[in-house]
């Protein structure tokens, strides 16, 4: 099984709302692999810059913070993943719209992306890694033996976000959310530094009409075909 540092790395890239996070966690638990939520690194940097009053225009200072910020990812006894900044559990805070916006701003700087490369690669530990993000297969783990690219229509991703926010008791408009998804895609796909795109050797899965279970089964099937797990 070819791999990064002899560790099996499976990359799962795609736009937000395509189901990467959910599927990555399920598959990582199932295989007993480590999990890299690379979006969380950009979110953590956004939060750390706010806490340390580092201006988003100070790209050098941001890159230093990216390299040295005190962060940790933990897996609880129930298998749940949590994220910590300077010893504090910030898992929930990271999911806010504000954290997402800060993340997308810092993620646009090539210096920041370069500073986070080594940290991301250090997650490749035995027995294996599920790496979730935008450029896992195209930049960070180019030699990964399995690369997946999850997509879904903007309408479907907006509807998923709508449901999530309604469940949290937030008052939102579906057309506005679909528009937000479209403009975020536009930004992610057209930025200069590591734009979102499918790696040439990635397998694309359109999850628009699929349930979480169906996508999980499809991914596990692919991993069985590639020899990562026994055939179900």
* Among 33, 42, 141, 228, contact with ligand DC (rule: CB under 6 A): 42
Looking up tokens 């100070």 gives: 58
Q: Which residues contact 85 (CB under 8 A, 6 or more apart)?
A: 44, 47, 48, 51, 69, 70, 71
| 17 interacts with ligand DC by CB under 6 A | no
Q: Which of 57, 5, 10, 59 is nearest to 36 (CA)?
A: 10
Question: What is d(CA 186, CA 204) in angstroms, rounded to the nearest whole number?
Answer: 19
Question: What is d(CA 201, CA 146) in angstroms, rounded to the nearest whole number?
Answer: 8
| 156 interacts with ligand DC by CB under 6 A | no
Contacts (CB under 6 A) with ligand DC, residues 172-201:
188
Least separation in angstroms between CB 11 and ligand DC: 10
Q: Which is nearer to ligand DC, 112 or 223 (CB)?
A: 112
| 39 interacts with ligand DC by CB under 6 A | yes
* Among 25, 30, 61, 100, contact with ligand DC (rule: CB under 6 A): 100
| 81 interacts with ligand DC by CB under 6 A | no
The strand ranges marked E within the chain are 8-13, 34-37, 71-75, 81-85, 88-89, 128-133, 146-151, 203-206
Q: Which is nearer to ligand DC, 4 or 104 (CB)?
A: 104
| 160 interacts with ligand DC by CB under 6 A | no
Contact footprint for ligand DC (CB under 6 A): 16, 38-39, 42-43, 100, 103-104, 107, 133-135, 188
């Amino acid at each position: 099984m070819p791999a990064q540092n002899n560790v099996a790395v499976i990359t799962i890239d795609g736009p937000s709302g395509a189901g990467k996070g959910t599927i990555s966690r399920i598959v990582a638990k199932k295989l007993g692999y480590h999990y890299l939520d690379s979006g969380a690194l950009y979110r953590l940097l956004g939060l750390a810059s706010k806490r340390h009053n580092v201006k988003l225009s100070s790209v050098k200072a941001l890159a230093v913070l990216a390299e040295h910020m005190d962060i940790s990812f933990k897996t609880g006894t129930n298998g749940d993943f949590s994220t910590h900044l300077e010893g504090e559990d910030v898992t929930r805070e990271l999911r806010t719209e504000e954290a997402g916006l800060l993340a997308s701003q810092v993620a646009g700087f090539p210096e920041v992306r370069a500073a986070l490369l080594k940290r991301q690669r250090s997650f490749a530990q035995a027995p294996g890694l599920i790496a979730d993000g935008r450029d896992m297969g195209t930049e960070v783990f180019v030699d990964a033996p399995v690369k997946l690219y999850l997509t879904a229509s903007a309408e479907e991703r907006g509807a998923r976000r709508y449901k999530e926010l309604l469940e949290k008791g937030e008052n939102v408009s579906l057309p506005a959310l679909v528009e937000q998804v479209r403009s975020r895609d536009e930004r992610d796909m057209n930025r200069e530094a590591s734009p979102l795109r499918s790696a040439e050797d990635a397998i694309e899965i359109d999850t628009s009409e699929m349930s979480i279970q169906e996508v999980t089964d499809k991914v596990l099937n692919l991993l069985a075909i590639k020899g990562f797990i026994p055939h179900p």
